[in-house]
Amino acid sequence: MRVCRRCRLLRKTGILSGNVERIGNPSYKTRMKLLLYEMVSAGDLPNAPAALVTEGAAMLSALAEDFAEVPDLEVFTIPMTSDQRSRSRLDDGVAQADAVLLIAPEWNNLLFDCARLAENAGKQLLSPSSEAVRLTADKLALFGHWQTLGVPTPAIIASFRATLPLPESFPMVCKPRFGAGAQATTLIEKDQDYRRRVERVAAEWPGQEFLLQEYAPGRAASISFLVGPRQTLALPAGWQHQSNDGRFRYWGGSMPLAPALALRAQRLGLRALEGIVGLRGFVGVDLVLGRAKDGRDDRAIEINPRLTTSYLGLRKLAKGNLAEALLRVTEGDDALELRWNNGPVQFQVEQ
């Protein structure tokens, strides 16, 4: 029997076996049963892009390892069977849990539906609510929200499905209105490339609505936050390493940023989160840091309402258990401060 690569990775981490896999050795004092659900690793997203397969498995194994060290916590996940014929049942896993942490792509309402399922079951969510996912997953709606609040972000020039709008200024970025992981995204630098590049990405994801957005010059960065009812805790910001072919494919990152750059990222990241009800747990903000040292050229790009691969680098920087900090902040414990190693830390996503 041939076992897929992602199954081998999860088996190595002790996550894969049976219909529900419990992590660690819970004691009789367990106060919470926590379901870690990563959609790709659970087998619930057939034919997922290769990047999501690798990133999903890495995030799940890191989270499982960290949460397994938290006292009085029983952690379990929903593994994918080795023959890949059996789809997991999220509703069954939710029924067994007291709390749920969800990781899934934002497109096609996938993450929204998962969050709504957990909410309807009356479970505690350690990740953003369905309404927070609805807003942040919709790049056009988020742009309107940011415009209202004056958050600096590249202007959206047009949206379309089948009929191409007339090109305006260049360079610009074409991306899906609902997307994740830079899927079907491309830079268009001159009008000669306009039709060819737009038609290429539209063919990669037929039937989707696409956006044309101003290109923000600068360097891609990200900052993550732990969000709870009593505090929003900024984590160290880092650079994003992307492909240099105009497709913005994510290759990994490095952190932390120099103090002045980190302060710019934190200020813009906090502004980007303003007014979004239901954000909780680990939330990422993608940014572009421009050349101006005062930050006037910095732009917010999007919000990731879920755990991102930045967690892999952050857990190496943290002095202590980052998953335990996530749990404490989300549950509304007293204001928490984290301590960090100096770094630098680099991490990459296998291509």
Contacts of 15 (CB under 8 A, 6+ apart): 21, 23, 41, 60, 61, 64, 77, 79
Residue 238 located in a structural domain = yes
Strand pairing class (21-23; 73-77)? antiparallel
What pLDDT is recorded for position 29? 56
Residue 143 located in a structural domain = yes
β-bridge mates for residue 172, sequence order:
188, 214
In this predicted structure, the answer to whether residue 86 has a pLDDT above a threshold of 50 is: no
Residue 327 located in a structural domain = yes
Q: Are 163 and 270 found together in one domain?
A: no
Q: Are 222 and 323 found together in one domain?
A: yes
CA 151, CA 299: separation in Å to the nearest integer?
8
Task: Count structural domains, the chain.
Answer: 3
Write the CATH number for 122: 3.40.50.11770
Q: Are 121 and 53 found together in one domain?
A: yes
Q: Are 223 and 324 found together in one domain?
A: yes
Q: Are 192 and 323 found together in one domain?
A: no
Residue 234 located in a structural domain = yes
In this predicted structure, the answer to whether residue 327 has a pLDDT above a threshold of 50 is: yes
Residue 131 located in a structural domain = no
Q: At what angle do helices 322-330 and 50-67 cross, to 10 degrees?
A: 80
In this predicted structure, the answer to whether residue 24 has a pLDDT above a threshold of 70 is: no
What pLDDT is recorded for position 178? 95
β-bridge mates for residue 186, sequence order:
174
Closest CA to 61 of 118, 21, 107: 21
Q: Are 193 and 333 found together in one domain?
A: no
Q: Are 236 and 286 found together in one domain?
A: yes
What pLDDT is recorded for position 20? 58
Q: Are 116 and 30 found together in one domain?
A: yes
DSSP 83-140: TS-SPP-HHHHHHH-SEEEEE--SGGGHHHHHHHHHHHTTPEESS--HHHHHHHH-HH
CA 57, CA 50: separation in Å to the nearest integer?
11
Q: Are 51 and 164 found together in one domain?
A: no
In this predicted structure, the answer to whether residue 59 has a pLDDT above a threshold of 80 is: yes
Could you tell me the pTM of the whole model? 0.90
What pLDDT is recorded for position 52? 82
Residue 163 located in a structural domain = yes
Write the CATH number for 267: 3.30.470.20
What pLDDT is recorded for position 10? 41
In this predicted structure, the answer to whether residue 11 has a pLDDT above a threshold of 60 is: no
Residue 315 located in a structural domain = yes
Range of the domain at 160: 156-214
Q: Are 202 and 232 found together in one domain?
A: no
Q: Are 162 and 147 found together in one domain?
A: no
Q: Are 110 and 141 found together in one domain?
A: no
